[in-house]
Amino acid sequence: MGGATRRRGDELIAAIHQAVLAELEEVGLAKLSMEGVARRAATAKTSLYRRWTSPEEILLDAIVAAFPREEVSASGDDLRGDLVRALQLLLDWGRHPTARAVQAILLERGRYPELADALFSRVFDPAGGRFTATVLHHYAALGEIDSRVITPVVADIGEALTLKYLADTGTEPSVEYLESIVDQAVLPAVGLSPPGTSRAAGPGRPS
Amino acid sequence: MGGATRRRGDELIAAIHQAVLAELEEVGLAKLSMEGVARRAATAKTSLYRRWTSPEEILLDAIVAAFPREEVSASGDDLRGDLVRALQLLLDWGRHPTARAVQAILLERGRYPELADALFSRVFDPAGGRFTATVLHHYAALGEIDSRVITPVVADIGEALTLKYLADTGTEPSVEYLESIVDQAVLPAVGLSPPGTSRAAGPGRPS
């Protein structure tokens, strides 16, 4: 079945994922269509409908496929380094076209609330709490930090500061800035004081 | 000079500010023009050129005019309450049309770097560091907190978490959430521990 040049399986899916992202970039969320995606992926609409019911479903699939899984060092002896690496993973992901798709969905969540909800229930939540939260929970499980301090606010600190830097400056923060975020904001919030201050020395205070 | 219905002074400027924001909303930054603003404000282009050299100048002026000045309680005895109020001021400002204009400028800063730079040099920086930073510096001047801990990262924590909540949920955080941001992220970063934890109790630990 199919000619010699017919793409199948993973290759076709990757082409369709790429097509839906390019289509979103060009026409926007409101005008996303099965026709447009099919044309751009050079495939038949029927082959899209075999797997997905709408262009939004294809978009979510593309986002899921590209979303990073946190890599937490198994040793559990480098909380600071693991937090910095989690924020670097966030920056890596920010360079992928799906990050812009996520931004588009969140900016228009007033108009497409189900799509935004699906983003959380299918992408962010299964990914284990998004970047630094995964690291913090890992070290809480090891008894290194008190799990009660990992509130929704605390789980968001590193990401919020990294994303605000990106939004304010239009450029990625340096590793040194990520280290400052970890030392001056994330670690104090979990009961570890930033280095170089003389107040509120916590039990695991570095330096 | 001028007819009976001719608007002058502040009234005309307010109408022109409103016009530039409405025009931005409708046509976007790339197509903003003196013609469009003049037509929408029902005034002559010449009257715009008397005061401004470009539509971007009018836009910056409109943003400056609406930007809030932080209100820090002079008594200096309610750091937590002042921080929460600073974040509420940020939310109040977020409801104003100029907040969307700021977002538009920052999103397109790759294309209009001078405009984004002017936003910082003329709006954010003269406003004294934007919301919680003003409060933190006020209490540092009173000797309540160590001024060395008010780094760029620490000055951004409250705003970053508030803006991320807005971006993630599309709704404004409650006062309780703002209090959590202050208790669990901002206060620990300046050497004061969040309430309800047993780690790293700082000198000014609440509760």
Q: What is the pLDDT of residues B124-145, one digit of tens each?
A: 877 655 789 889 999 999 999 9
The 10 Å Cβ neighbour count of residue A103 is 14
* pLDDT, average across residues B166-185: 94
**What are the pLDDT digits (tens) for B16-60?**
999 999 999 888 888 999 999 999 999 999 999 999 999 999 999
Write the CB contacts of A49 (distance below 8 Å, at least 6 apart in sequence): A34
For A139, which DSSP code?
A: H
- B137 contacts B181 by C-beta, under 8 angstroms: no
The per-residue pLDDT for A192 is: 83
* pLDDT, average across residues B178-200: 79
Listed by number, the residues of chain A in 80-109 with a beta carbon closer than 8 Å to a beta carbon of chain B are 106, 109
- B106 contacts B172 by C-beta, under 8 angstroms: no
Confirm or reject CATH 1.10.10.60 for domain B9-64, answering yes or no: yes
Distance, CA of A122 to CA of B149 (rounded, Å): 39
- Angle at the Cα of B157 (from B152 to B163), degrees rounded to 5? 120
Say which of B151, B153, B180 has its CB closest to residue A153.
B180
Write the CB contacts of B3 (distance below 8 Å, at least 6 apart in sequence): none
The per-residue pLDDT for A94 is: 84
3-state DSSP assignment of residue A30: helix
CA quadruple A42, A48, A51, A56: dihedral sign: positive
The 10 Å Cβ neighbour count of residue B190 is 27
> What's the one-letter identity of residue B124?
F
Per-residue confidence of chain A (207 residues) as pLDDT tens digits? 444 456 778 899 999 999 999 999 888 888 999 999 999 999 999 999 999 999 999 999 999 888 877 666 656 789 999 999 999 988 988 888 888 898 888 888 888 889 999 988 888 877 656 789 889 999 999 999 999 999 999 999 999 999 999 888 889 999 999 999 999 999 999 998 655 544 443 333 343
Enter the ipTM. 0.79
Distance, CA of A90 to CA of B94 (rounded, Å): 26
Distance from CA of A57 to the nearest CA of B (A): 20
Q: Percent of chain B, pLDDT > 70?
A: 85
- Could A200 and B191 be called an inter-chain contact, meaning their C-beta atoms sit closer than 8 Å? yes
For A124, which DSSP code?
A: I
The per-residue pLDDT for A60 is: 94
Higher-confidence residue of B202 and B60: namely B60
Q: Is the pLDDT of residue B71 over 70?
A: no
- A20 contacts A37 by C-beta, under 8 angstroms: yes
Say which of A106, A184, A190 has its CB closest to residue B154.
A184
What is the maximum span of chain B, computed from C-alpha positions, in angstroms?
72
Count CA atoms within 13 Å of residue B181 on its CB side. Answer: 32
Say which of A149, A160, A194 has its CB closest to residue B197.
A149
Alpha carbon A121 to chain centroid distance?
Answer: 13
Q: Is the pLDDT of residue B202 over 60?
A: no
Distance from CA of A133 to the nearest CA of B (A): 14
Residue A198 dihedral angles phi and psi, to the nearest 5° = -110, 10
Q: How far is CA A116 from CA A122, B162, B169, in A?
A: 10, 19, 9
**Residue (of B167, B105, B109, B99) closest to B131 by Cα position:** B99
Distance, CA of B180 to CA of B177 (rounded, Å): 5
Host H or E run for residue A70:
none
Distance, CA of A40 to CA of B158 (rounded, Å): 43
Helical H segments across chain A, by residue range: 9-27, 34-41, 45-49, 55-66, 79-94, 97-107, 113-118, 132-141, 152-169, 175-181, 187-189
Domain ranges of chain A: 9-64, 70-189
- Angle at the Cα of B165 (from B161 to B170), degrees rounded to 5? 155
* pLDDT, average across residues B112-126: 86
Helical H segments across chain B, by residue range: 9-27, 34-41, 45-49, 55-66, 79-94, 97-107, 113-118, 132-141, 152-169, 175-181, 187-189
The per-residue pLDDT for B151 is: 95
> What's the one-letter identity of residue A104?
A
B chain contacts of residue A189, beta-carbon cutoff 8 Å: 184-185, 188-189, 194
**Residue (of B129, B168, B109) closest to A107 by Cα position:** B168
Q: Is the pLDDT of residue B2 over 50?
A: no
